[in-house]
């Protein structure tokens, strides 16, 4: 069931201020709600203003703290405004989860035109670059530890998990993650990535789940023979966002049912 975390909530993110991009649906929405239940003050950002508001309202209706911000992550001014609003409302930034992304419908090299390439790269790669850069600026300004988590993909680890532009962009996310982690480890800033496999009932994967042929191909590649659940990704994000993972940086963790084993 969505929005349910096993076990008791023990405030693992007590008073932490967390920005989540793509919080209007899927993994981002699930994560925002779970994080709020764990004590975080959550900034729900999304390109779709209505869905961002919906997520924030769910959190507020549970008596927790959240605001929503409309953001195009491929636009620096939007990213800058998102962080400025975060600090204006909550006084600081502790964690950013760069989750928002788009797919390319398995388009091959010859099927990919410049418009599609630019759109995917600008969102999935430049958007991560912008999110990391603006967060690091804020962490250094605050003179505080910071935590960045980038949502990559099993497509970051090899081919056949997407089309040319998607796979290229997600490989780049791993490069950014490792580089930024190395550059700012001495400043107390941690940077990690997660690599989800086929996660069911998100805006990106729902069309593939409804296509029986594609659904069969994907599940046949997964040793656990099923799609992942959004909460299974959110629980990993919770661990990485919490102090339980304080000695982990520059790594990429798969959550894929063994797909890339």
Each residue of 204-261: pLDDT tens digit? 666 666 677 777 777 888 888 888 899 999 999 999 999 999 999 999 999 988 878 7
Residue 177 forms part of a structural domain: yes
175 in Cβ contact with 183 (< 8 Å): no
Predicted pLDDT at 1: 38
Q: How many CB atoms lie within 10 A of CB 223?
A: 10
Residue 3 forms part of a structural domain: no
| The two structure tokens encoding residue 65 | 């703290």
**Lookup result for tokens 């797909």:** 259
20 in Cβ contact with 237 (< 8 Å): no
Residue 7 forms part of a structural domain: no
Distance of alpha carbon 79 from its chain centroid, rounded? Answer: 15
Rounded to two decimals, the pTM is 0.92
Give Cα separations from 120 to 88, 128, 140, 166, 168 (angstroms): 31, 12, 30, 6, 9
| The two structure tokens encoding residue 192 | 């990690």
* Nearest CA-CA partner of 194 in 68, 101, 123, 113: 101
Predicted pLDDT at 224: 85
| The two structure tokens encoding residue 202 | 């998100």
Residue 10 forms part of a structural domain: no
**Spatial distance between the Cα atoms of 92 and 96, rounded to a whole number of angstroms:** 12
Residue 260 forms part of a structural domain: no
| The two structure tokens encoding residue 254 | 């798969």
Predicted pLDDT at 56: 98
Beta bridge partners of 254: 195
Give the CATH number of the domain where residue 110 resides.
3.40.50.720
Q: Which residues are catalytic?
A: 166
Burial (CB < 10 A; 0-12, 13-18, 19+), residue 59, is buried
Residue 219 forms part of a structural domain: yes
Locate all alpha helices (DSSP H) within 111-163, ordered by sequence: 114-121, 127-142
**Residue 89's domain spans which residues?**
17-255
**Spatial distance between the Cα atoms of 69 and 47, rounded to a whole number of angstroms:** 9
Helices 49-61 & 26-37 angle (0-180, nearest 10): 30
Digit-coded pLDDT (tens) for 199-216: 876 766 666 666 777 777
Residue 227 forms part of a structural domain: yes
Predicted pLDDT at 259: 79
Q: How many domains does one find in the chain?
A: 1
Residue 11 forms part of a structural domain: no
> With a cut of 70, which residues of the chain have pLDDT below it?
1-9, 161, 201, 203-210
């Amino acid at each position: 069931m969505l929005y349910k975390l096993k076990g008791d909530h023990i405030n693992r993110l007590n008073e932490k201020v967390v920005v989540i991009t793509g919080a209007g649906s899927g993994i981002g929405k699930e994560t925002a709600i779970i994080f709020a239940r764990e004590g975080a003050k959550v900034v729900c950002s999304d390109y779709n203003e209505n869905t961002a508001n919906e997520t924030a309202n769910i959190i507020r209706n549970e008596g927790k703290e959240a605001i929503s911000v409309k953001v195009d992550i491929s636009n620096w001014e939007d990213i800058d405004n998102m962080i400025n609003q975060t600090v204006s409302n909550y006084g600081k930034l502790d964690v950013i989860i760069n989750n928002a992304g788009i797919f390319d419908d398995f388009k091959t090299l010859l099927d990919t035109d410049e418009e599609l390439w630019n759109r995917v790269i600008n969102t999935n790669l430049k958007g991560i670059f912008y999110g990391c850069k603006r967060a690091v600026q804020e962490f250094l300004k605050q003179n505080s530890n910071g935590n960045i988590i980038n949502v990559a993909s099993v497509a970051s680890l090899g081919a056949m998990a997407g089309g040319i532009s998607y796979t290229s962009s997600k490989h780049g996310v791993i490069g950014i993650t490792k580089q930024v982690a190395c550059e700012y480890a001495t400043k107390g800033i941690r940077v990690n990535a997660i690599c989800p496999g086929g996660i069911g009932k998100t805006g990106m994967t729902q069309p593939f789940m409804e296509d029986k042929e594609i659904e069969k191909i994907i599940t046949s590649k997964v040793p656990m023979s099923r799609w992942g659940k959004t909460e299974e990704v959110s629980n990993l994000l919770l661990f990485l966002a919490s102090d339980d993972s304080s000695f982990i940086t520059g790594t990429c963790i798969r959550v894929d049912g063994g797909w890339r084993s």
